[in-house]
Amino acid sequence: MKRIIVILTASLTGLTILAGYFFQTQLANLTGLLIEWGILLVGLAGVIGVGYLFKMHLVRVAHWQKGSLLSLIVLVAFLVTVGIGFFLPPDSAFFRNWVLNIQIPVETSLLAILAVTMLFASLRIIRTRGWTLMSVSFLISALISLILNLHYLNPAIGTAGAEWLEFVRRLPLAGLRGILIGIALGGLIVGLRVLLGMDRPYEDES
Amino acid sequence: MNMPELVWGVVGFLLTVMILSYLIGDNFFFRLAAYLFVGVTAGFLTVLIARQILWPYLLQPLLEGSTYQRLWVLIPLLLSLMLILSQISQLRALSRIPLAFLAGLTAALVIGGAVFGTMIPQMRAVVIGFQPAAWHTESRSSWMHTVDAVVMLIGVIGTLSYFHFGSRFKRKTDSSDLSRPRLLQALARVGEVFIGFALGALFAGIFSSALLAMIDRIVFLGGWIARWVGGG
Amino acid sequence: MTWTEIGWVIIGLAVVLLLFFNLLFTRRDWYPVRVNPAVNAFVKQRVRALEGGKQSQVVLGNRFWSRAYPALGLHALSVSASLVKADPGAQETQVFAAGTGELSLFARQILCGTYQDGYSSALNLILTGPTPHAFMAGFLAEMGLHSPGSVGLFGHYGPMEALILEAAQMKGGHSFAAAGSISAQAALFLTTRDLLIGEEIFLLPGLMDRSPSLQAAWISEDILRVLMIALLVIAAGLTLAGVL
């Protein structure tokens, strides 16, 4: 009985939202309300998730496990940020500076590391993937796209050169569209499996 | 340069060097910067969720709302309490209902988004290239337009065929079998090329942005070093 | 018929096909699918890591839901359910890493469902960072502390996660990726040999746990895909003729 109630909760919620796509004006209020509740639960789950993170590092520090000093950094940084965030007003310049001046250098530097990683990885692509139709077309396309991105080739509009260039630029779109349609199809099946109760990620009983 | 600018500049400089030190191998300084970043981000997210989600959607209507608003907020309040209490292992079962609600909601958004947000618009975009009326209105010649539309259709069909799961032999699975049914297999070979083209072009875009980020960091570091060396 | 109506027809057809094949077939291997070398390599290396007492890390992604790739979060959960079912004895060495609170909560539920007694979620469920970048940075830092035997990326992630797999390989671990945005796949195409591209990812739960229900999903998807190819050709023809 309990299991049926849980499955019905998932299915009815999903079906109501799905019906909202069909009866957009009639169900707008109800679907809006359900989505608001969903946002609230996602937010709460976010806080619980941060709790997991906090607990993991706290346990590490408490038991003086490997990496406990670094875990202490996480805990201190977290508590200081939460403290500043709640103590100062929402539009505080100091709070913004505190967060952004740590986030931006780290995020941009990680992207810079990615550039180097990808550069080296591209040099050994054939070793990684072998001579396949896909790897060769990948290389050709990457090379052409990099050249096109430099904007050295600028034939006059209306000429045959410009038309061919446009054609080459649009060529990757075909594969992209195919991949996107495929992923959407897979997504449709995944979503339906949850709505029909075939997949039940919310259950804690096998 | 005023004091705060100097302090934040030094922090940015140190964090950049610490993260970039990963290029010579995993090390303590990289982990230090990474964990600092994780702690700050977690704190920031907590503040953000409390201010932008929990307060306006739950606490404010509960504390300051009308009776009607308070009644409506009872259901999400109950779901929230169930989710919080389920963190106690003896009360774990309480999370089933809020998680089922969340899974159902997400599944419906997945279906709607996949079909009406991706599948149909992408299919329309493929087919629209075959509209004869559109061929004469643009600057491109009509034959080029035709070639473009046909190549797009072949590319999409080939790509879709590449993803066919079933194998050719229907009676018994051959452990070395990699092939699809014959027609789909032929189309899939074409699809392979188009997938390669798509991924290659995307890679070029990612690589360009990553390169820009690297240049940005080098310029930033160079600027600070020049300032210190020059005493400015 | 409008495109929106076509969308509803596709949804209706998918429901009918899923229910029909789910009810019709009960055997485990009734729909033969192509052999996938990447998945085979992942399964082999994962078992090797678990038997060798090394960690097998299952990364569930950095988002539960996104507008562009809405299904990847639910798909990651489906894969993790199959993975824990496939290796119920790997309680200690199989580590699940999630990048959001929702994913962590669902993963906890799945893990508790499989490892009923004496399971401690603190043992093998980690959240390394609560935002995509923090998750990645935290995961890289964690890898410095505990070298994994194998890392599998599932769910939603971006191109930056290529760094995770590159790091795993540098530390002698095996890396495998399924899902992620298309740009992530473009980056991973270079760094990872065992990569599932695009719709291939939806093969995965069924290959780990060959339940009839997951095979019903395979055949439904295959039939719908062929129908969509036919639909595209017909729609192109009708548009050319000026009917559509």
CATH number at residue C164: 3.40.50
Subunit contact A186:C202, Cβ cutoff 8 A: yes
Q: What angle do CA B196, A178, B199 make, to 5 degrees?
A: 25
Which helix or strand (DSSP H or E) is residue A93 part of? helix A93-123
| Chain B residues in contact with A177 (beta carbon < 8 A) | 122, 125-126, 152, 155-156, 159
Average pLDDT over residues C207-213: 85
Alpha helices, H only, C125-211: 132-145, 162-170, 182-191, 204-208
C110 or A175, which is more confident: A175
Q: Which domain holds residue C136?
A: 30-210
Instruction: Write down the pLDDT at residue A123.
Output: 87
Residue located via tokens 């729609």: C235
Average pLDDT over residues B77-96: 91
B169 or B223, which is more confident: B223
User: Is it the case that residue A11 has pLDDT exceeding 80?
Assistant: yes
Q: How far apart are the first and last CA of chain B?
A: 9
Domain ranges of chain B: 129-167+179-232
Instruction: Write down the pLDDT at residue B198.
Output: 97
Nearest to C186 among B126, B164, B206 (CB): B206
Angle, helices B3-20 vs B182-230, to 10°: value is: 130
| Chain A residues in contact with B207 (beta carbon < 8 A) | 115, 118-119, 122, 142, 146
- Residue C241, in any domain of the structure: no
pLDDT, tens digit, 9 for 90 and up, residues C90-127: 666 788 999 999 999 999 888 887 776 555 555 588 89
Nearest to C213 among A114, A198, A204 (CB): A198
Instruction: Write down the pLDDT at residue B14.
Output: 96
Distance of alpha carbon C150 from alpha carbon C54, whole angstroms: 8
Subunit contact A121:C162, Cβ cutoff 8 A: yes
A108 to chain C: nearest residue by CA?
A: C133
Confidence (pTM) = 0.92
Average pLDDT over residues B166-190: 75
* Residue B180 pLDDT level (bands cut at 50, 70, 90): confident
User: Is it the case that residue C205 has pLDDT exceeding 70?
Assistant: yes
Average pLDDT over residues B57-78: 90
Instruction: Write down the pLDDT at residue C90.
Output: 67
Shortest Cα distance, chain A CAs vs residue B67, angstroms: 17
Number of domains in chain C: 1
Instruction: Write down the pLDDT at residue B232.
Output: 56
User: Is it the case that residue C189 has pLDDT exceeding 70?
Assistant: yes
Instruction: Write down the pLDDT at residue B46.
Output: 96
pLDDT, tens digit, 9 for 90 and up, residues C57-85: 899 999 998 888 889 999 999 998 888 88
Instruction: Write down the pLDDT at residue C99.
Output: 93
pLDDT, tens digit, 9 for 90 and up, residues B97-144: 999 999 999 999 999 999 999 999 999 999 998 988 777 655 677 788
Angle, helices C182-191 vs A93-123, to 10°: value is: 50
- Residue C51, in any domain of the structure: yes
pLDDT, tens digit, 9 for 90 and up, residues C148-176: 888 999 999 999 999 999 999 888 888 99
Any CB–CB contact under 8 A between C15 and chain B? no
If you count residue pairs, one on A and one on B, with CB atoms under 8 Å apart, how many are there? 406
* Residue A149 pLDDT level (bands cut at 50, 70, 90): confident
Instruction: Write down the pLDDT at residue C116.
Output: 62
Answer for the pair C55, C148: CB distance below 8 angstroms, yes or no.
Answer: yes
Subunit contact B130:C128, Cβ cutoff 8 A: no
Query: What pairs with residue C195 in β-bridges?
Result: C177
Shortest Cα distance, chain A CAs vs residue B230, angstroms: 23
A180 or C89, which is more confident: A180
Average pLDDT over residues A56-69: 92
Subunit contact A194:C130, Cβ cutoff 8 A: no
- Residue C112, in any domain of the structure: yes
Distance of alpha carbon C3 from alpha carbon C5, whole angstroms: 5
- Residue C157, in any domain of the structure: yes
Shortest Cα distance, chain A CAs vs residue B106, angstroms: 7
- Residue C182, in any domain of the structure: yes
Average pLDDT over residues C134-146: 90
pLDDT, chain C, mean: 88
Average pLDDT over residues C136-146: 89
| Chain C residues in contact with A198 (beta carbon < 8 A) | 18, 22, 213, 217
Distance of alpha carbon B94 from alpha carbon C148, whole angstroms: 34
Instruction: Write down the pLDDT at residue B208.
Output: 94
| Chain B residues in contact with C130 (beta carbon < 8 A) | 41-42, 45
Any CB–CB contact under 8 A between A65 and chain C? no
For the beta sheet containing C174-177, the strands, ordered from the edge strand earlier in sequence to the opposite edge, are: C125-127, C94-98, C55-61, C148-156, C174-177
Give the percent of chain A with pLDDT over 90.
Answer: 72
